Amino acid sequence: MTEPQISPEALSAADREWSALDLALVLSRRLRLLVLAPLTVAVIAFGATYLMPLTFTAHAQILPPQQQGSAASALLGSLGGLAGMLGGGGGGGLGGLKNPADQWIGFMKSRTIADALIERFDLMKVYEADLHFLARDELEKRTRISSGKDGLIDIEVDDRDPKRAADIANAYIDELQKLSRTMALTEASQRRRFFERQLQEAKDNLTRAEQALKAGGVSASVLKTSPEAAVAELAQIKAQVAVSETRLAVLRGTLTDSAPEVQQALRELSSLRGLMTRTEARDPDNGKGDGAAYVARFRDFKYYETLFELMARQYEMARVDEARQGSELQVLDAAVVPEWKSGPKRGLIAVLALVGSFLLLAGWTVWRAWLDGQSREASSAETLSEIRVALRRALGRRA
């Protein structure tokens, strides 16, 4: 019985392919090297970890303050009953952040706090940094600040000195307290000065409108018009339009036009202007008749009176905010001096060295076999037999 003939093309294709048995044969011939060399590297790596400096990790946990009503929310609340007429209502506070803790994390990662910590603990000397930005980068590498679904903020600081690690973690909280108080006072002071100017302007206009109303006199035809109700309503709506425009200006100072709060303020302002147009159409004199001059003066007087009251309310709110000392953070767990090292992780380093050296050596062995052009024309039975012989030699047994 003759053996089937294999064409040169088929043989050439077989030569170009490596089966699992071929790889096993190549690796089995170098089994002792593939076992002893990685073990040696792992032992050396494990021993080298004792020459590395120890690292200690301090952990602190805080609860950020709950979000309070902002100036824009207060302005919206001042619409009172008129907001109900518009079908708007001042529901939804500002913020827009998916997680309020993200803002506080951003504060702690700021350059202001980093520079304060660098100066407080002389970290340029500790980190052997010649420039401030190098010390900031090193501090950032050694610090991890994150928040979970529970809303708590975790602060972890690595350092070779366990006490300094705890001190830096607690100092993050101290500096955040200082920064939050400073920012609260700055923002409130800006609002207070803004409404102070608006209040003074409204007061001057109210005084002039009152003087003009008193100098106008009252006639019988004017008394028949009884403009108080309609004119007072129109003046109040105009004042609300002015307050709504002020609110929109405050929002645009910190948010973009695409922000939901700005879009809501634009819709409310549009509704107010529409209501003002409809109310003007019902004006009792509509600019005509004997009482037109008096009605105009009375309308101006009521407008500036309402505007003055609303601005005075916002001014008082800003003053109260300015008097506050800022939101206080609640420290759930202050950092304590760690009792056990967090690094180096000797076991993990040894395992990584073992696996890495084995993979590199195995790849090098296969690559060398491929370069040498070892024949792969043997049958599977012959290949298995060679593997068994190689394994026995590697284990010190007779073939």
Q: How far is CA 15 from CA 3, 31, 361, 389, in A?
A: 20, 24, 24, 23
| Mean pLDDT per 10-residue section of the chain, whose length is 399 residues | 45 50 74 86 88 90 70 47 41 48 89 95 93 94 91 93 95 91 68 82 86 63 50 74 77 72 83 80 53 70 84 82 67 91 86 92 82 56 60 57
pTM of the model: 0.55
Task: Using alpha carbons, select from 82, 94, 322, 90 the residue that is nearest to residue 189.
Answer: 322
- Confidence (pLDDT) at 326: 53
CA distance 182 to 243: 28
Q: How far is CA 360 from CA 34, 227, 354, 367, 388, in A?
A: 10, 95, 10, 10, 24
> Residue 388 carries which side chain, given as an amino acid letter?
R
Sign of the Cα torsion 26, 28, 29, 32 reads positive
User: What phi, psi does 109 have (nearest 5°)?
Assistant: -90, 5
CA distance 44 to 258: 60
CA distance 30 to 244: 82
Spatial neighbors of 93 by CB under 8 A, at least 6 apart, are 67, 69, 70, 73
**What is the SS3 assignment for 55?**
strand
Q: How far is CA 177 from CA 40, 148, 154, 166, 328, in A?
A: 52, 21, 16, 17, 7
- Confidence (pLDDT) at 11: 40
Q: How far is CA 180 from CA 103, 108, 188, 317, 361, in A?
A: 11, 10, 12, 19, 56
CA distance 27 to 376: 14
CA distance 218 to 291: 8
Whether the CB-CB separation of 117 and 171 falls below 8 Å is answered with: yes
**Using omega within 30 degrees of 0 as the cis cutoff, is the peptide bond preceding 53 cis?**
no
